[in-house]
A and B are shown apart, each in its own frame.
Chain A
């Protein structure tokens, strides 16, 4: 009885207020608490099938909001990767043996399977910090640094973004610049590009640590078209130069007729690789251009978010990404958001399934499946809710399917009977929790 009395108060009060003021309110209240400190945390699991990569990562982002619109952001991420990853060698109907990256031992791989590097285990720690502040009325400046470390790779970067509002703040233009230096210190040293994999104990083709420099420019425009529609268009330029190889990726050298990997002749008698493999060699420069467009449409509580990205680079990889998500409310405090993403790319001009014995060695070659031709579909759903105390929680479950093909003109002899491109399926599960203090 008492409870229902209370429930009527706000409705009766609204009516009485209308009578008092002689007008209705200007619209429904829209208020949101902003905490001095806001925390976004996420625990992500990414698991590929067939015992391949598993990644568990924990991300925490802390934001300190100051009264004069200045914001300090600090991020920390810890990743643990385990599992195995395709080496680049082609499968064979017999066993194959390769020397481990350290050059200290060998391991063998079963017949008729895509050769994997099973020694893959890594922990990565990443840290970011940025400072944002408005200046000169319509401008915002954001400056940041990033740093990450894993046992054979470190990254250090700086970034700066300047944005300016126009057109009664319905238009925002931004210019972003970033520079990074990434250092490789591969286990056993950096292999010379396109040099052969050697026997155990022979590190004569290993060089010192190497590095690459990355420079990015992003030009963006965000436009508010109406209360319901917001659009964004970005152009980005990215240049990487230096050591762009993956030091652990190799290619098989195959017989021009049978397509089978070729054993070394004569056998050295020392423990070593069962066949001839060359370390990959990529160009030492890569320039990418990409165009990204996004529309966000709000309709009676629902939010539709559609984006498209086109990327092209001078390695002849062209990619298209289409992404769509639709958020619809289940109640005042919860929503469901299905997500669908389609990705397709062409292969790099130096992508090779294998190298053919007797043919001249190309200047560059890589059998890394990430540089091959493939399509990928991600389908998933996210459920989010807000606790009574205003904390946001969400769970996301997605399925990723990557399906590629070796270029037909590169297939030699009995390779046609093998599965040359390592297709992959993965499950992504994420739990996110955001709160303010």
Chain B
């Protein structure tokens, strides 16, 4: 059953705040647009785009392109342009991350459930799953995709950031005012606001009371994305197994930061850099420093 798709628009001191839920996250649009009808139009266009992307690429929905790919049982499929663009992007990330980022790694969920228990899978279980993982085992010749039987793809690591960038582009086309698109903490500011100093964004620190915003960042333009440890882990024999898994081994990446935030021109770039940094574990800070991007790492 789909969650209720309601939108809410409120007038704040010098901006409109619109809120809705998409992709399992609370979503917000803040805009300095003063015209209420344009603000309404912004809200509807942005929420529509979020839900469109959710419907098309959610792995939980039957009948969409992801579901059809995952049920193709080794039969090649022709995909549409947007899906092909996402697959091309996923392929580039797989190369750039030397296999650490892999959209076929979702099958690991069959063995790993990070519920705080001591239910750590056996080596054999994990090994069996790793055999079903690997973008290098996928035959992708745009626009045709052939996925081996037993393998699955999942755009969960890209979809939300992609949706934020798409929604922000749409918002920027509708209104010349500064708008902030925030889907569950991944966000973009379309243009510098007239408010001095930019939009003020509080970043929560995982495990700490949300009201005590950990950091405050002023964003004039561009994107911020945050990845966190989210307190999802298993604990067995005194060993903590975090939820960031290395698809090459099927086991958790050791020494993952509690939280990584990156500022970049687009949300997709920021989000991928936070993800790649998490996958680097102990080397996250070194990796981000080499990228020459503003970043905040919490250990």
Q: Tell me if B222 and A29 are in contact (CB < 8 A).
A: yes
Q: A20-B268, A21-B166 are in contact. Are A30 and B192 (CB under 8 A)?
A: yes
* Contact among B86, B88, B166, B219 for A30, CB-based, below 8 A: B219
B290 to A3, Cβ gap below 8 A? Answer: yes
Q: Interface code B215-240, partner A: CB below 8 Å = 1, 0 otherwise?
A: 11111111110000000000000000
User: In the complex, what distance in Å separates the CA atom of A5 from the CA atom of B14?
Assistant: 45
Q: Which of A26-44 contact B (CB under 8 A)?
A: 26-36
Interface contact A137-B14, CB-CB below 8 Å: yes
What chain A residues lie within 8 Å of B86 (beta carbons)? 20
Answer yes or no: A257 CB below 8 A from chain B CBs: no
A6 touches B222 (CB 8 A): no
CA distance A283 to B169 in the complex (A): 67
Neighbour of B169 across the interface among A12, A23, A32, CB < 8 A: A23
The reply to whether B200 and A34 contact each other, CB–CB distance below 8 Å, is yes
A17 interface residue per 8 A CB criterion: yes
Residue from A20, A31, A169 in contact with B89 in the complex, judged by beta carbons closer than 8 Å: A20
**Nearest B residue to A137 by beta-carbon distance?**
B13
Given contacts A17-B266, A168-B194, A169-B195, contact A31 B220 (CB under 8 A): yes
User: In whole angstroms, how far apart are the Cα atoms of A32 and B216 in the complex?
Assistant: 9
Q: Given A6-B287, A9-B291, A20-B88, decide whether A26 and B168 contact each other with a Cβ distance below 8 A.
A: yes
Q: Are B202 and A67 in contact (CB under 8 A)?
A: yes
B268-A30 in contact (CB<8A): no
- How many angstroms from the CA of A414 to the CA of B288 in the assembled complex? 75
Nearest Cβ distance between residue B220 and chain A, in whole angstroms?
A: 4
Determine if B266 and A16 form an interchain contact, defined as CB atoms under 8 angstroms apart.
Answer: no
A102: CB under 8 A from chain B? no
Known: A16-B93, A34-B218. A169 touches B196 (CB 8 A): yes
* Chain B interface residue count, Cβ-Cβ cutoff 8 angstroms: 57
- Contact present for A13 and B263 (CB under 8 Å): no
Q: Which of A9, A16, A67, A170 has the most B CB atoms < 10 Å from its CB?
A: A16
The reply to whether B224 and A31 contact each other, CB–CB distance below 8 Å, is: yes
**A29 to chain B: closest residue by CB:** B222
Given contacts A7-B290, A26-B191, A169-B195, contact A67 B213 (CB under 8 A): yes
User: B143 to chain A: closest CB distance in Å?
Assistant: 15
User: Is A10 an interface residue when CB atoms closer than 8 A count as contact?
Assistant: yes
Closest residue on chain A to residue B286 by CB atoms: A6
Q: Which chain A residues border B172 with CB–CB below 8 Å?
A: 26
Any chain B CB within 8 A of the CB of A14? yes
Q: Per a CB cutoff under 8 Å, which of A8, A32, A134 touches B218?
A: A32
Residue A65 is within 8 A (CB to CB) of chain B in the complex: yes
B291 near A6: Cβ-Cβ < 8 Å: yes
Pairwise interchain contact B88-A13, C-beta atoms closer than 8 A: no
**B266 and A30 contacting across the interface, CB-CB below 8 Å:** no
Are A31's CB and B222's CB within 8 A? Answer: yes
B265 pairs with A13, CB closer than 8 A: no
Nearest Cβ distance between residue B98 and chain A, in whole angstroms? 8
Shortest CB–CB separation between residue A32 and chain B, in angstroms? 5
Whether the Cβ atoms of B291 and A31 lie closer than 8 Å is no
Contact residues, B263-299 vs A (CB, 8 A): 263-266, 268-269, 272-273, 276, 286-287, 289-294, 296
In the docked arrangement, what's the CA distance between A218 and B294, Å? 39
Q: Which A residue's beta carbon lies closest to that of B85? A: A20
**Bound form: Cα–Cα A65–B224 in Å:** 21
Asked if B96 is an interface residue, CB under 8 A from chain A, the answer is: yes
Across the interface, which residues of A come within 8 angstroms of B292, CB to CB? 10
Closest to B34 in A: A168
A32: chain B residues at CB < 8 Å are 197-198, 217-218, 220
Contact of A31 among B13, B165, B194, B263 (CB under 8 A): B263
Distance of A205 from chain B, by nearest CB (Å): 56
Q: B183 interface residue, CB < 8 Å from A? A: no
A270 interface hit (Cβ, 8 Å): no
Contact A10 B291 (CB under 8 A): yes
Cα distance A31–B169 in the bound complex, in angstroms: 19
> Is there contact, CB below 8 Å, between B194 and A170?
yes
Asked if A266 CB lies within 8 Å of chain B CBs, one says: no
Q: Is the CB of A9 within 8 A of B96?
A: yes
In the bound assembly, the distance between CA atoms of A232 and B217 in angstroms comes to 27
User: Judging by beta carbons under 8 Å apart, are B293 and A30 in contact?
Assistant: no
Which residues of chain A are near B224, meaning CB under 8 Å? 31
Query: Is B296's CB under 8 angstroms from A6's CB?
Result: no
Q: Tell yes or no: A25 within 8 A of B by CB.
A: yes
A19 within 8 A of B: yes
Residue of A whose beta carbon sits closest to that of B161 = A17
Task: State the 7 A-B residue pairs at the shortest beta-carbon distance, nearest first.
Answer: A29-B222, A25-B265, A30-B220, A31-B263, A169-B194, A10-B291, A16-B92
Sample of 10 A–B contacts (CB below 8 Å) = A6-B287, A12-B96, A16-B88, A17-B272, A22-B85, A30-B219, A30-B221, A31-B263, A34-B200, A67-B213
- If A13-B93, A29-B222, A31-B263 are given as contacts, then 20 extra A-B residue pairs at C-beta distance below 8 Å, sorted by A number, are A9-B97, A9-B291, A10-B293, A13-B96, A14-B265, A19-B85, A21-B165, A21-B266, A25-B222, A27-B191, A28-B221, A29-B264, A29-B294, A30-B198, A30-B221, A31-B294, A33-B217, A34-B200, A134-B13, A138-B14
